[in-house]
Amino acid sequence: MLRSLSVEIVPVRNANVSIEERLRGKVFLLTLKRSSPEEREKLLNAAVDEDGAVNLLDSTTDPAEEALSLSSDDELNIANFISVDDAGTTNSFGPSSALHNPARTDKGIPSPRLSTTTEHIKNGLIANAALQRHLEHRLTRHATIAGEPTELALHLLNLHWARQHHTFLLTYRPAVMRDLECSGPYCSTFMLNAIFACSSKFSPRSAVRDDPDNASSVGRRFFKRCDELLSSDSLLARPHISTIVGLILLGSTYNARGETSKGWLYTGYALRMVYDLGLHLDPKPTTEDPEEIEIRRRVFWGAFVCDKLQSLYMGRPVAINLRDSQVSREFLDLYEEMEPFYPSALATGSPSRLDENMGDAIPRHSVSTFQRLCLLSKIMTTIINRFYVVGATFSNAQIDLQRIEQALQQWRNKLPPELDFQPWLSTSPAVQTPNIMVLHNVYHSLAILVHRPFISDDRLRSTATSGRSWEQCTVAARCITSIASVYKSTYGLTGAPFSESDA
């Protein structure tokens, strides 16, 4: 019976290779069809090497996968990158490490509770955020906070919650303010002094100056205190989430102050800690605590965004690449999403009250804006790695341009109406929150950066794309100027985020 069967064995690998080759050929033909005669000639020359061998674009590594699939969180199995020791402690030693101890399926990693719905978790986090906000008044009973008079400390904290916080969402307010009261793990003296140092530049009070007559002394004692704590408490040798947050805040502020080397190094320490604490792996497989999941996700993505903005600002490589992490962008605490924002209060520097300027209030949209910034930062990573690293080549620059342009357009098309801002249109809102303005200026900056090589590089300047690239850069520059003008007239440029200057 067995001998009578005729079985044809097809090597799976060869079949897969054949499919990949057909896909490459199809992509190549479509690209040729859309290209100009000059571009077709360049593509054909690049496809055939000196020996006459055909080498089409490798579909497994082309930027379409990175740039065009940015709108979703791919579910990857991160179990191989989680290590659990005999004591049950979770670490992020990958499978190549001698320290890797694979997690067992029967114990070590708790399984998610299937009965706990996402909506239930979301409601619980929002309710807790509201409760903690109502309990913040208890801090006034303290004589001092982190070595500062309580009234001044709360003033600086309020400036932080009103400004920097809403751009990167690094500091999870319910946990920070609660742990400030009870000395919990998500608030530390170092992180508080980092917040004070970064917020002091927004304060009109002379108390934040070491020398009341010297504007350059603003926040000096807070910066000095942070340096002392890093040394005396050996914080760089003991990674912690609160230390990561403090270092990233300081890094951004040092960059804005022109101390770029210190800003680069502080941010670099923080990004190394992100890996050491396993924040680059989604926390769901290792914990059931909704608050911990929310905090770890926010800190990772805040660090990810800051890494990309700093990389562009300094023209240096990114520390976290797209394939180095797998963390969901799903944030469940939406308490701050519809929180009212008062433009006139921020412009004048006065605290807002619910009974004043009610008609002036607009929603913050902090969470959704940050999620869109995370997506934009993924596109930013692709642009940096394709055009702005030392080893960047332009052999497939035209194809890269088309795909990244498509990704940017896809991002723009999926932007919710409430996050839109086009002040050059009569239908656009007259003003938006600072974080939404920053989001749009980053978008238009990327539109310039993706076209810039076709203008500045001699090898690409002669292509047919060069003229269109000039036009796209000009349009994007005008958009940035228009948004910056509205920002200046509404809020003033004092205390504007350094990402605005980069744009």
Q: Which token pair is 241?
A: 């989430």
- What sign has the CA pseudo-torsion 389, 390, 393, 394? positive
Residue with the bigger pLDDT between 362 and 286: it is 362
Stretch 401-412: mean pLDDT = 95
Q: Are 384 and 308 in contact (CB under 8 A)?
A: yes
From residue 204, alpha-carbon distances to 82, 128, 135, 290, 325 in Å are: 48, 33, 27, 38, 41
Per-residue pLDDT band for 209 (boundaries 50, 70, 90) equals: very high
Q: 16 — alpha (psi -120 to 50), left (phi > 0) or beta? A: alpha
- What rounded mean pLDDT belongs to the chain? 82
Q: 256 — alpha (psi -120 to 50), left (phi > 0) or beta? A: alpha
β partners of residue 326: 281
**Is pLDDT of 31 > 80?**
no
**Is pLDDT of 13 > 50?**
no
Q: Which token pair is 256?
A: 């804005």
**Is pLDDT of 133 > 90?**
yes
Q: Render pLDDT for 308-351 as a digit per residue (tens, 0 to 9).
A: 999 999 999 999 999 999 999 999 999 999 999 988 777 555 55
pLDDT of 38:
62
Spell out a b/e string for 96-124, using b for 16 or more CB atoms within 10 Å of the CB, else e.
Answer: eeeebeebeeeebbeeeeeeeeeeebbee
Question: Where are the domains positioned within the chain?
Answer: 12-60, 117-333, 375-502
pLDDT of 441:
96
φ and ψ at residue 218, rounded to 5 degrees: -60, 125
pLDDT of 343:
83
Stretch 400-419: mean pLDDT = 95
Stretch 384-394: mean pLDDT = 85
Residue type, 308: K
Closest to 388 measured CA to CA, from 479, 469, 457:
457
Q: Render pLDDT for 424-448 as a digit per residue (tens, 0 to 9).
A: 988 888 889 999 999 999 999 999 9
User: What is the C-alpha radius of gyration for the chain, rounded to an integer number of angstroms?
Assistant: 26
Q: Are 118 and 332 in contact (CB under 8 A)?
A: yes
Q: At 280, is the secondary structure helix, strand, or coil? A: coil
Q: Render pLDDT for 166-203 as a digit per residue (tens, 0 to 9).
A: 999 999 999 999 999 999 999 999 999 999 999 999 99
Report pTM.
0.79
**Is pLDDT of 495 > 90?**
no
β partners of residue 340: 363
E strand segments, 89-230 = 90-91, 144-145, 148-149
**Is pLDDT of 150 > 80?**
yes
Q: Say which DSSP state 149 is in.
A: E
pLDDT of 25:
67
Stretch 245-264: mean pLDDT = 96
Kindly write down the DSSP assignment for every residue of 334-379, as one continuous string.
-TTTT-EE-HHHHHHTPPP-TTS-GGG-EE--HHHHHHHHHHHHHH
Residue with the bigger pLDDT between 239 and 81: it is 239
**Is pLDDT of 105 > 60?**
no
**Is pLDDT of 269 > 80?**
yes
Stretch 155-159: mean pLDDT = 97
pLDDT of 86:
55
Per-residue pLDDT band for 114 (boundaries 50, 70, 90) equals: very low
First-to-last C-alpha distance (Å) of the chain: 75
Q: Which token pair is 237?
A: 């040798």
Lowest mean pLDDT among 6-20, 205-219, 258-272: 6-20
pLDDT of 22:
59
**Is pLDDT of 10 > 70?**
no
Q: Which token pair is 155?
A: 């003033």
Residues 6+ apart with CB under 8 A from 456: none
pLDDT of 409:
96
Closest to 290 measured CA to CA, from 113, 462, 45:
113
Residues 6+ apart with CB under 8 A from 120: none
Residue with the bigger pLDDT between 15 and 359: it is 359
> Of the spans 25-29, 172-176, 255-259, 467-471, which averages the highest pLDDT?
172-176
Lowest mean pLDDT among 143-147, 195-199, 250-254, 464-468: 464-468
pLDDT of 450:
94
Per-residue pLDDT band for 226 (boundaries 50, 70, 90) equals: very high
Give the C-alpha separation, 480 to 443, whole Å.
9
Per-residue pLDDT band for 421 (boundaries 50, 70, 90) equals: very high
Per-residue pLDDT band for 390 (boundaries 50, 70, 90) equals: confident
